[in-house]
Each structure stands twice: as C-alpha cells, then as structure tokens.
Amino acid sequence: MSEEQQFLVPQDNYLKSGIHIGTKFKTKYMEQFIYKIRPDGLAVLNLSKIDERIKILANFLAQYEPQDVIIVGRRETSWKPLRAMNKATGMKVFAGRYPPGIMTNPQLKTYIEPKAILVVDTWVDKNAVIDGLKTGIPVAALCDTNNQSNNIDLVIPCNNKGKKSLGLLFWILTREYLKNKGIINKDSDFKETIEDFTEE
C-alpha cells in the first residue's frame, strides 16, 4: 500500500488546502514537525505527521461522548468548521469568545465539566488551555510552526489560520470521529461536504 493511499484524504486535497504551510517563525517544539523551509522563509510542515496526528486526535476524541468534549476557536476562520462539527457530532463548541470561568466556577449557570478540550490555537485560545490545565483534563491543540506547545497533551501540527486548512481538517476530523464511534460505517456514509466546513 503506498503512502498516498494511507492518507485520510488524497494528498492533493491536503496540498490545495495549504494545511502544511506554516509561518516564518518556528518554536523549538514545532521543529520536529517541519519538513523544510521554503526560499521565502515559510516553514513547511510534514504532511505525513499532520495526517498521523489527525488520526490520533480522532481516536482520542472518540473515547468520549460528544457532550464531554469542548472545542474552542476564537479565530474567525474557525467558526464555520466548528459549527459544522457541532451540528454533525453534538460536541460543544465555542466559536468566538470563550466564556471565563465556565470550567472553573461551579457557581456559574453555564458551568460545564468537559472531559477533554480541543483548541484551534494555543495562543489565541490560551484561556481555555489554562482552564484545561486547572481542571486536569487532557488538552489537544492545533499548532502552527509559531505556536508554543508546552502543557498540551496532544499537538496537531497544521496551518491553524487558513480557512481552507481549518475547513478540511475539521471535515476529516468529524468524519473520522463518526466512524470511530460507529455512527457511520464508511467514508461514503458521511454526507457533509468540505464546503459545509469552509468559509467562503
């Protein structure tokens, strides 16, 4: 079986979405995921590692019921994919502002006790990461080459800013989660399109 077939989607889909295009800045931790630096200085992430980590993330999330997982994305390019994932899986999403104290203050009417959290960006969504640490639940995060990833239990290297990249990633993640949960049996049972997850 060739590497091409082992990917969750055809390699071309990944390349077109720019999921592997990082930033000009790289943190020490993210170096292990970088395939090369382009002549223009942009870091390029390793596609095999991106694909592998999306699989790991889908398996990790599938250990939980949808209501026990929260996904946080303050960056606007993540709102549509997050809402689409919420619709398809029932996971709780915070697209936009993450409400302070929601996981740490039992006095709040909105208080929740999730068992796992996924953030779109460790920097922009740092308050959710801090709450995850305080409550001792596993934190998974999408990390670009410029992200700090200490305190993250599972890092998914990817372009976490682009709308095509985020749309594709959450589309794959939703499909794989539903398959792992036995809600759908095969890829063709998944009726949502990548467009459903991608901002125009």
Query: φ, ψ for residue 95 (rounded to 5)?
Result: -95, 105
The pTM for the full model equals 0.94
- The structure tokens 């969504």 sit at 125
DSSP labels, 146-163: T---TT-SEEEES--S-H
Provide the pLDDT for residue 3: 47
d(Cα 185, Cα 176) in Å, to the nearest integer?
10
The 3-state DSSP class for residue 118 equals strand
Average pLDDT, the chain: 94
Provide the pLDDT for residue 130: 95
DSSP labels, 21-85: B--S---TGGGGGEEEE-TTS-EEE-HHHHHHHHHHHHHHHTTS-GGGEEEEE-SGGGHHHHHHH
Give the single-character DSSP code of 175. H
Provide the pLDDT for residue 5: 53
Q: Which of these CATH numbers, 3.40.30.10, 1.10.3470.10, 3.40.50.10490, 1.20.120.1200, describes 3-197? A: 3.40.50.10490
d(Cα 15, Cα 78) in Å, to the nearest integer?
19
- Other CB atoms within a 10 A radius of the CB of residue 78 amount to 30
Provide the pLDDT for residue 89: 97
Strands 43-45 and 34-37: antiparallel
Largest CA distance in the chain: 54
Q: Which stretches of the chain drop beneath a pLDDT of 50?
A: 1-4
Provide the pLDDT for residue 26: 92
